[in-house]
Chains A and B, each alone.
Chain A
Amino acid sequence: AQSVSQHNHHVILSEAASLELGCNYSYGGTVNLFWYVQYPGQHLQLLLKYFSGDPLVKGIKGFEAEFIKSKFSFNLRKPSVQWSDTAEYFCAVNPGYSSASKIIFGSGTRLSIRP
């Protein structure tokens, strides 16, 4: 079955530390990839997306993600985190040219930033 794995359930960092959150998926064909962020008490917002082209995509608030097709991965990175990045982060995969129901979310990674 298609799945999305986020192996880090809870990450704790100090301000200014670098961040990398892992995301791996099991679908072998063309995929569209997303990272969403959910700040405490708020709804999910799109951080960035990959549809095609340059595998290194930049999103809002200094986040970026790299699509590595051979590793079935789409890891999220930020060179220097801030306290305001405290949130839950979700990776999502939509197999290309598939139906609207095939948007599979990972279980999320909770990021806590120590001031």
Chain B
Amino acid sequence: NAGVTQTPKFRVLKTGQSMTLLCAQDMNHEYMYWYRQDPGMGLRLIHYSVGEGTTAKGEVPDGYNVSRLKKQNFLLGLESAAPSQTSVYFCASSPQLAGGLYEQYFGPGTRLTVT
């Protein structure tokens, strides 16, 4: 199993450009998440999905959109990139376990720089 994969690994955008980050998991997990990681701030949840066709906002959703058309894929879009979106983006997935348990499996990350 590849686990959780992310495409691309690195990207540089100019302010105002758009892009889509792709996350794929082959573990048949129900839940998928997008986080951003900034120095000294840990991981902050952008959007998440509890199943195919569903998405919900996390802690810092502004400026991002997501889609989960297939269970194994979770796309994160930036319609008009801003320098404040320079960050490392991590995708994660987790199975739906009993008792509200959400152990997450992370992808390798995408380093995005917006100039």
Contact = CB atoms under 8 A, between A and B. Distances in A.
Top 3 A-B residue pairs of the complex, sorted by shortest distance between their CB atoms: A97-B100, A107-B42, A44-B106
Interface of A: 6, 9, 32, 34, 36, 42-46, 49, 51, 90, 94-101, 103, 105-108
A37 to B, nearest CB: 11
Interface string B27-56: 000010101000011111100101000001
B90 A44 contact: yes
A32 B4 CA distance: 22
Given A45-B106, A101-B45, 7 more contacts: A44-B104, A46-B104, A49-B103, A97-B99, A97-B100, A100-B31, A103-B45
29 contacts: A6-B42, A32-B100, A32-B101, A32-B102, A34-B103, A43-B4, A43-B107, A44-B43, A44-B90, A44-B92, A44-B104, A44-B106, A45-B106, A51-B101, A90-B42, A94-B100, A94-B101, A94-B102, A97-B100, A98-B100, A100-B31, A101-B45, A103-B33, A103-B45, A103-B102, A105-B42, A107-B40, A107-B41, A107-B42
A6 B48 CA distance: 24
Contacts of B99: 51, 96-97
A99 B58 CA distance: 11
Q: SS class of chain A's interface: helix, strand, loop or mixed?
A: loop
Interface of B: 4, 31, 33, 35, 40-45, 48, 50, 56, 58, 90, 92, 94, 99-109
B100 A101 contact: no
Contacts of B101: 32, 51, 94
User: Which residue of A6, A32, A43, A97 has the most chain B CB atoms within 10 A of its CB atom?
Assistant: A43
A105 B103 contact: no
Contacts of B44: 105
Contacts of A42: 108
